[in-house]
Amino acid sequence: MSFRSSFLGVGTYLPERVVSNAALAERLDTSDAWIRERTGITQRHIAGPTETCTFMAVEAARQALARAGVSGESVDAVIVATATPDQAFPATAVRVQAAIGAGGFGFDLSAACSGFIYALSVADSMIRGGAARRVLVIGSEVYSRILNWEDRATCVLFGDGAGAVLLGAGPADGPGLLSTHLHSDGSFGDLLFVDGAVGLREASGCLQMNGREVFRHAVAKLAGAVDEALAANGLSYADVDWLVPHQANKRIIDAMGKKLGLAAERVVVTVDRHANTSAASIPLAFAEAVEDGRIRSGDLVLMEALGGGLTWGSALLRM
């Protein structure tokens, strides 16, 4: 029997502390106007000492389970997309697994800002192949821990948070995830990276980015992934009801919406309030639009992201 991955529930967590552009301008050579004009960001949530990657992932997972009306015991697998885990090991996912009382297995996946799309693809393969019937897919990030807060070019861009979706095995001809499309090109790895990990202790451990070059690659590569997803399903731009993009920069988001011919109100935007939450940005935006009633049953939703690696990809789903 064949299956399709259906969306059963969504959940989110955002740290309590909100930091405005004006607050950053008090100690950096920047301004609210400079940040808004270049990125669209007005504020971001910054995690406190107890708001760890695991803590936020657990909170988002519990909310997704509650909204789906199921218990953690019914979950077969937990996949957490993160570049900022609390520990080198065990994986954040197994901490979540224990907290919600799930069985089966769990693991982390690292693909930077594309992590949620990558994790969706892995979960979908498991469900289609019969390896799991219910999979929690979570993006959880605490980028505030890896930023150089003296570097105005990067520290103003990011925020913290977590988003989760619960996928379940549904009929192959029913609603759910139609396809996912993944890409990477390691020759561009030095455009966006964090130099430092357990295996390289002498490095700074702070995010470094060539923003101009990342922007240049983003629109072209994302456009290709979008075209690929639609072509694979025999669909056109006109069929898309909603674009839920990675929330990195309002200019990139606007460019993708324009390419699809979508009215601004059909593009889900949270970058203004959340900033770039990396692997958490798409599930946070998706959950918001589902919960406030914008995205409804039957809608065709397109997701896309690009991140360090470079990694990029798209996902197409029918609600």
Distance CA 291, CA 90 (A): 32
Q: Which amino acid would we find at residue 193?
A: F
Q: In sequence order, what DSSP letters do the residues of 20-79 get, joined into one string?
A: EHHHHHTTSS--HHHHHHHH---EEEE--TT--HHHHHHHHHHHHHHHHT--GGG--EEE
CA distance 238 to 270: 23
Q: Which of 21, 155, 181, 246 is catalytic?
A: 246
Dihedral sign for Cα atoms in the order 120, 126, 129, 134 = negative
How far is it, in rounded angstroms, from Cα 215 to Cα 246? 13
Catalytic residue among 53, 113, 181, 274: 113
- The answer to whether residue 53 is catalytic is no
Half-sphere exposure of 136 (CA within 13 A, CB side): 45
192 near 210, Cβ under 8 Å? yes
Q: How many residues does the chain have?
A: 319
Confirm whether 206 is a catalytic residue: no
Choosing from 21, 45, 274, 276, the catalytic residue is 276
- Determine whether 276 is an active site residue: yes
Catalytic residue list: 113, 246, 276
